[in-house]
Structure 1
Amino acid sequence: MNSTLTGVVAIYLAQVRAELSDLPPGELEDVLEDVSGHLTEVAAEFEAEPTTAALQERLGTPREYADELRTAAGYPPRTQPVADRDAGRKALRWGLIAATVGPFFVAIGIFAWSHEETLFFGVLGLAVLFGSAYLGVRALRGNDPRIVLETPRGERGAAAIRDLIDQIPPNVRRELVTIGQPVWWVARGAIGGGGFFALFGAGAVTVVGALAGAAVSVWIGRRTQQDPRWLWYVVPLNLVAAVAVPAFLAAAYMGASFGFLNNYGDYSSSGASYTPDGLVLNGMTIGNIYPFDAQGKQVTVRLYDQDGNPIALPRDDCDARFGRVDHSTTSNVFPLKIATPDESGNVSEETCKDSDKASFVPPPAPATTATPTATPSTKPTTPTASARPSVTLTVQPTR
């Protein structure tokens, strides 16, 4: 069989071979040798590489062409066993589940906002993907994977894909196969391998994981060309990669906080860090401050920063809650008064009361001792640090 055929002509020849696969091996090769020569002659009649539609208009569909060969050579018509038709339908059904449900859950995990959600949906999606793909391969029952194309749904899907391929100029198709395909193999493997280690915060080995993933991805691509059954795994993984690769690249470029990146890898740009408004302590927003003196008595203070600017927080008293003052009103007098709920746990305008009393008792202040002087003096002295009143500030994080 002539191996120099490429593109649409090579695909057509492969489909004719599938239609004649029930012939004895020796006779099949002889027939295909003649078919290859005929297809080479027909392809030469076109000015450029023929499209699928043009080739089928000239020769008929691969099945029609194969049927003419059978009639001319005196071979009986091909009959597909019922078991093969059932196997094709089941294999295609599991393949569709692997290619839709699995990637759907993985995509939810990629854009989730929490560690737990990403792990849950990611593991669920991969389990559905690989489980369905495995069942699809098992459903083939050792038959040639091309039997799925002999089902009504498979024929329609294959025709739709061929029509899309025909829309691509022949020179672009060749470039996609020779250059684009290896690049895609590397990209999907690098994102998959690096993303796996980023899931567990293993930043030091993320690069190693990306390189290993690229190597495995290239091996899988080569393996798929030799054994079409791998398509049940590769096609769903390609769909996952088609979502993950642009998401990673966009997040790395713009510093977007996708859940998969925001929770497990440091991919955000240095200029895109998020700083919350208000007063923050150890990453938590402060909603109120309760000052206490050295004796544990709550006091009222006014707070300023090192430049004399008020350290103010939004008010949450009855006036602020029910619109009696502007909602953006702040105060630097602490503790702030807070609207307290009534006995039923509600805060209503009629029964609303303000309170600035702390709901806790602060720990005792550290004891201090004053050093006695050797000689009494009648001159006025400046109070020592231990004699000065001290204030303990207790902050209340916003819940």
Structure 2
Amino acid sequence: MNSTLTGAVASYLAQVRAELSDLPPGELEDVLDDVSGHLTEVAAEFEAEPTAAALQERLGTPREYAAELRTAAGYPPRTQPVADRDAARKALRRGLLAATAGPFLVAVGIFSWSSDETLFFGLLGLGVLFAAAYLGVRALGDNDPRIVLETPRGRRAAEAIRGLVEQIPPNVRSELVTIGQPVWWVARGAIGGGGFFALFGAGAVAVVGALAGAAVSIWIGRRTQQDRRWLWYVVPLNVVAAIAVPAFLSAAYMGASFGFLNDYRGSGTTNYVPDGLFLNGTPVSNIYPFDAQGKQVTVRLYDQEGTPIALRPEDCEATYGRVDHDTASNIFPHRVITPDENGSYGEEGNCQDTDAAPFVPPPAPATPIPTPSAGRTPTPGTPTPTPPTSATTTPRPGVTLTVQPTR
């Protein structure tokens, strides 16, 4: 069928299609090819693009024109009702909802900072997507999926898409269909399946998920070519893939992480070290040193190589921009903002902070004094054994903290 028809001519052809939609698909396309050629010749008889009224005056209403075609071709009268226009509008609205709201929520999950948010928004987005697509297919009923093109919004969208497609050279269009389409099927399935299964396992599971996703994606693509109702599911999923594939490739190339990779970029490797100071996997935001008598002291901290162990301040000055918030300090404890008697943290003018520890430290354990073993008396000239010092103790692996009291 000629796809270059526009305006009232394209609308007239779409209405004729609806009147003939009960014909077998192959025969319908042959008839419509002849109709589009006839409409092109009729439109050329007008000095300007014909209006719907001018076409109906020249050819009759779409129903009358379709009836004449049936008679001329020997087809029986129509026994099925013409497509419900209300069904077309409902199917189109729900399809648009599936293609916008669902991918938006999935995108929020992809660019989230934690795997929990990624999983929540991802599943929510997919739920909205499939629910809206299912309702759209239900709204179609037994009608041809192309009835949505008979609605004003559907016609405008189809014309816009045709305009974009016509800008592509014919040879490139052919390459996109024969080569680009299968490549896209594999890419969207591999990224989707691999990214999903990466949330639940290591790299091997993600690889298996990518292979399974590619196979499923190819099957869906082939299925869509046979049944256009699958477009209500495939188009929204293509929008999701158009967001996820570039995000995944950019993250892999730049070493960055988006949602589904944030908590898993160390999976399968041992060289990932998170930023900041951590204790047993928990981030440390402040340090409160105490001396042997349980008195809080102020110290400077260094590691075994003399590098300052510094954290960024979270006091009033840093919070309200009076000092550079990115400037870290190795003097501990840091001052932190505290709430007032009403539980409010205040504003810039009445902000309060303190370096007092928010806890009471447990008593320091008593250090036992070594005594000679019972029944043994040191003899003169025999050196008394001394307990090993920290210098002779086998060091534990990890970071060594050097505490230097400030004056």
TM-score, structure 1 length as denominator? 0.69
Do the aligned partners of 1:251 and 1:257 also contact (CA within 8 Å) in 2?
A: yes
Instruction: Give matches, 1:1-399, under 5 Å.
Output: 18=17, 21=20, 29=27, 71=68, 74=71, 81=81, 84-266=84-266, 275-276=275-276, 280-283=278-281, 284-293=283-292, 303-307=301-305, 330=329, 332=331, 359-365=359-365, 368=368, 370-372=370-372, 374-375=377-378
Q: Is the 8 A contact 1:109 1:119 kept in 2?
A: yes
What is the CA distance between 1:120 and its match in structure 2? 2.1
Distance 1:36-1:256 versus aligned 2 partners, 3 A rule: same
Aligned length: 365
- After superposition, give the CA deviation of every residue in 1:203-254 in whole Å (9 maximum; x if it has no partner): 3311111111111111111111111111111111111111111111111111
CA offsets per residue over residues 111-145 of structure 1, 9 Å max, x none?
A: 11222322222121111111111111111121111
Measure, in 2, the Cα distance between the counterparts of 1:218 and 1:135: 24
Tell me the amino acid that sits aligned with residue 108 of structure 1. Answer: V
**Aligned-CA RMSD value:** 5.2
- Structure 1 pair 81/16, CA: closer, same or farther in 2 (3 Å)? closer
Task: Work out the CA distance in 2 between the residues paired with 1:32 and 1:313.
Answer: 71
- Answer yes or no: is the 8 Å Cα contact 1:290–1:358 preserved in 2: no
Q: In structure 2, how many angstroms separate the alpha carbons of the residues matched to 1:367 and 1:228?
A: 80
Deviations 1:323-370 (A, max 9, x none): 9999859465x6667787775667999997966567313254265351
Evaluate the alpha carbon distance shift between residue 154 and residue 210 of structure 1 in structure 2; reply closer, same or farther with a 3 A threshold. same
Q: What one-letter code is carried by the residue in structure 2 that aligns with 1:242?
A: A
Residue 292 of structure 1 contacts residue 299 of structure 1 at CA under 8 Å; is this kept in 2?
yes
Per the alignment, do residues 21 and 265 of structure 1 end up closer, same or farther by CA in structure 2, a change over 3 Å counting?
farther
Distance 2:150 2:322 in 1: 75
1:305 Cα deviation from its structure 2 partner: 4.1
Match in the other structure for 1:48: none
Deviations 1:254-309 (A, max 9, x none): 12221222134548999996533xx554452352232332x656666665544456
- Richer in strand (by share): 1
Aligned to 2:287, the other structure's residue is in SS state strand
Q: For the Cα contact (< 8 Å) 1:336–1:356, is it kept in 2?
A: no
Paired AA for residue 251 in structure 2: A
Q: 1:88 to 1:310 in 2, by over 3 A?
A: closer
- Structure 1 pair 271/35, CA: closer, same or farther in 2 (3 Å)? same
3-state secondary structure, aligned to 1:291 = coil
Distance 2:41 2:271 in 1: 56
Tell me, which stretches of 5 or more residues in structure 1 are unaligned?
43-52, 387-392
Cα distance in structure 2, aligned partners of 1:369 and 1:134? 78
Deviation digits for residues 76-125 of structure 1 (CA, Å, limit 9, x no counterpart): 99899576222212211211111111111111111112223222221211
Judge which range, 302-311 or 132-141, deviates more. Answer: 302-311
How far is the alpha carbon of 1:184 from its aligned partner? 0.6
Alpha-carbon contact 1:200-1:264 (below 8 Å) kept: no
Shift of 1:151: 1.9
SS in 1 for 2:361: coil
Greater Cα shift, 257-266 or 76-85 = 76-85
- Which amino acid in 2 is paired with 1:375? P
Gaps of 5+ in 2: 390-400
Structure 1 Cα separation of the partners of residues 324 and 66 of structure 2: 88
Kindly indicate whether the alpha-carbon contact (under 8 Å) linking 2:185 and 2:214 is maintained by their aligned counterparts in 1: yes
What code does the residue aligned with 2:187 have?
A: A
Q: TM-score, normalised by structure 2?
A: 0.68
Cα separation, 2, equivalents of 1:363 and 1:138: 71
SS of aligned partner of 2:288? strand
In the alignment, the residues of structure 2 paired with residue 137 and residue 37 of structure 1 have an alpha-carbon distance, to the nearest angstrom, of 30
Q: Does the CA-based 8 Å contact 1:136-1:232 persist in structure 2?
A: yes
CA-CA distance at 1:171 after TM superposition: 0.4
* Per-residue Cα deviation, 1:2-53 (whole angstroms, up to 9, x for no partner): xxx99989xx9x9799456357669x94x966876899xx8xxxxxxxxxx9
Return closer, same or farther for 1:58/1:340 CA change in 2, 3 Å cut-off: closer
Q: Which moved more, 1:304-313 or 1:222-231?
A: 304-313
Please give the alpha-carbon distance, in whole angstroms, between the structure 2 residues aligned to 1:81 and 1:352: 76
Structure 2 CA distance for partners of 1:246 and 1:303, relative to 1, 3 Å: closer
Q: Is the 8 A contact 1:201 1:265 kept in 2?
A: no
Going from structure 1 to structure 2, the CA distance change for 1:80 and 1:142 (only over 3 Å counts) comes to closer
**Given the superposition, is the C-alpha separation of residues 274 and 374 from structure 1 closer, same or farther in structure 2, using an over 3 Å criterion?**
same
Greater mean alpha carbon deviation, residues 100-109 or residues 179-188: 100-109
Distance 1:336 1:377, change over 3 A: farther
Q: Which residue of 2 aligns with 1:49?
A: none
Question: Percent identity at matched positions?
Answer: 57
